[in-house]
Amino acid sequence: MSLREVPDPDFLPNLDPRHVKIATPADFGTKQPATHPPRMLLLYGSLRERSYSRLLVEEAARLLRRFGAETRIFDPRGLPLPDATEADHPKVQELRELSLWSEGQVWCSPERHGNITGVFKSQIDWIPLSTGSVRPTQGRTLAVMQVCGGSQSFNAVNALRVLGRWMRMITIPNQSSVPKAFQEFDEAGRMKPSPYYDRVVDVMEELVKFTLLTRGHAASLTDRYSERRANAVAAHQVERLVDAATQTR
């Protein structure tokens, strides 16, 4: 084999060893598992009366319940555009509280002009990366789905994956894209049997499994060297200010 050797493999002059943590199996295998049902928040991206993204989310919620999860679906009607009002708006607070409650989420958007809808993006834009020390999405699992008006596409789910990564979520590998969604639901709004339905079953089953595996370890999985180091630097600066104030008394 032709393998390249790493020069100076143990020389890391820019790494502060005081804030390095070496993960071990004990970090992830000794905690008491949670016993309550996995908590799933589902978001959809259309306000139409017969919204196919909502119908798909409702079908996903039924499946999640069958797999043992507790589900809540946020209704985006009445949610203001981002920055059009203050964050104390009741719909904004409702959305943020639901995100904090959740341990996993399902995002489903129609594809419009090759991307997700404004209705869906507005919901994510109202959820902050952090509020003080609280992170409403970090470490939660995520499944992404889309509905298409025409042939099958993956532009929306790809965009949702980018959003999920930005929100520091654990996006599962599987996903669902339903083409010609108007053909896949009956008059009562239930999804018809098809390989597309089977894929939705697969995605929800996988989401529950990933959530059960990770929900007790979210803090460990999202514990970062850069943040530990930044917090230590900030704490040291506070100590210096306190010392300086004490000496001037």
pLDDT value at position 23? 66
Are the C-beta atoms of 157 and 146 separated by less than 8 Å?
A: yes
pLDDT value at position 118? 96
pLDDT value at position 22? 74
Considering only CA atoms, which of 211, 191, 67 is closest in space to residue 139?
211
Domains of the chain: 36-223 (3.40.50.360)
pLDDT value at position 6? 67
pLDDT value at position 133? 57
Alpha helices (runs of H) in the chain, residue ranges in sequence order: 26-29, 52-66, 90-101, 118-125, 155-166, 195-214, 218-221, 225-247
What are the structure tokens assigned to 15, written together? 């790494």
Q: Give CA–CA dist 93/101, Å, rounded.
A: 12
Mean pLDDT in consecutive groups of 10 residues from the start of the chain, 249 residues: 74 77 67 81 96 95 93 96 93 95 97 96 90 77 96 95 94 96 95 94 94 84 82 80 73
Question: pTM of the predicted model, to two decimals?
Answer: 0.83
Is residue 74 within a helix (H) or strand (E), and if so which, with residue range? Answer: none
pLDDT value at position 30? 52
Alpha helices (runs of H) in 36-182, residue ranges in sequence order: 52-66, 90-101, 118-125, 155-166
